[in-house]
């Protein structure tokens, strides 16, 4: 992408996230029981969403890499994992901030919490694996294999803990439920969906920047090799 395109995208992303924050603080009504702490929900779910999105993206890009062996696929996969780790950690921290007054504990071994934590560990392991390999081609291959294994195991982890009971609130009901699909006041719903949208755009922006950076790193590595010869 051209440099101007990046500037436009950055500005749009910034405005969207700022607008989302504005909606959260000034537009969304105060939740009757939980009060102000409920406002963390909008960015909490959006971060968790971006975290999950990145990991799906990373696994898909990993699969593409194993198929065609193009550098771009590997760079994308790596970029997505890095972004995913960041947003999963944000989701865990914001969730703890909410859980402390509401559940009266920072942490509980609920399926969603545990799965998010384990997912984050899987992808931190991915980063460590990459760090331990010098050959870029091998690094890409091993990374792709591990990211696919990780993406397969995370849903199973969720299921394995789901068999116990969960206390995590389900805000978005399953379709076919008697009540509306979203169990929220309309203004909350607007704020929530807007936050999701803003964070998704932020994800794309960060991903594109990180891919650009990855390509620059590749180029640098190659130039170093040539210079050394």
Enumerate binding residues for other proteins (CB under 8 A).
66, 118, 121-122, 125, 128-129, 132-134, 138, 141-142, 144-146, 148-150, 152-153, 156-157, 159-161, 163
**Least Å from the CB of residue 82 to other proteins:** 17
**Least Å from the CB of residue 164 to other proteins:** 9
Nearer to other proteins, 140 or 207 (CB): 140
CA 227/CA 229 separation, integer angstroms: 6
The count of C-alpha atoms lying within 13 angstroms of the C-alpha of 103, restricted to the half-sphere facing its C-beta, is: 16
Phi, psi of 134 (to 5 degrees): -90, -40
The residue among 13, 12, 66 whose CA lies nearest residue 199 is 13
User: Can you list the alpha helix ranges (DSSP code H) found in the chain?
Assistant: 3-22, 40-68, 71-102, 111-131, 136-162, 186-228
- Per DSSP, 29 falls in state P
- Per DSSP, 26 falls in state I
Contact 116/182 with Cβ under 8 angstroms? no
Centre a 10 Å sphere on the Cβ of residue 159 and count the other Cβ atoms it contains: 11
**Least Å from the CB of residue 121 to other proteins:** 4
**Least Å from the CB of residue 126 to other proteins:** 8
**Least Å from the CB of residue 125 to other proteins:** 5
Nearer to other proteins, 141 or 209 (CB): 141
Nearer to other proteins, 132 or 176 (CB): 132
Nearer to other proteins, 14 or 109 (CB): 109
Nearer to other proteins, 32 or 163 (CB): 163
């Amino acid at each position: 992408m051209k440099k101007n395109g990046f500037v436009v995208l950055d500005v749009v992303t910034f405005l969207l996230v700022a607008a989302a924050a504005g909606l959260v603080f000034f537009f969304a009504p105060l939740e009757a029981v939980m009060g102000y702490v409920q406002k963390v929900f909008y960015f909490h779910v959006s971060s968790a969403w971006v975290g999950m999105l990145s990991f799906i993206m990373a696994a898909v890009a990993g699969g593409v890499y194993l198929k065609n062996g193009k550098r771009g696929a590997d760079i994308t996969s790596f970029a997505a994992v890095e972004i995913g780790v960041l947003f999963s950690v944000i989701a865990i921290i914001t969730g703890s901030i909410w859980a402390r007054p509401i559940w009266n504990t920072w942490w509980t071994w609920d399926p969603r919490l545990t799965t998010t934590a384990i997912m984050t560990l899987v992808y931190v392991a991915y980063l460590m694996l990459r760090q331990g390999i010098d050959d870029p081609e091998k690094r890409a291959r091993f990374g792709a294999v591990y990211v696919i294994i990780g993406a397969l195991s995370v849903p199973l982890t969720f299921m394995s803990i789901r068999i116990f009971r969960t206390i995590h609130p389900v805000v978005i009901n399953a379709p076919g439920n008697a009540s509306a699909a979203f169990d929220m006041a309309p203004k909350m719903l607007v704020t929530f969906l807007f936050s999701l949208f803003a964070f998704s755009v932020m994800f794309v922006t960060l991903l594109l920047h990180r891919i650009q950076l990855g390509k620059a790193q590749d180029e640098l590595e190659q130039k170093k090799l040539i210079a050394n010869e």
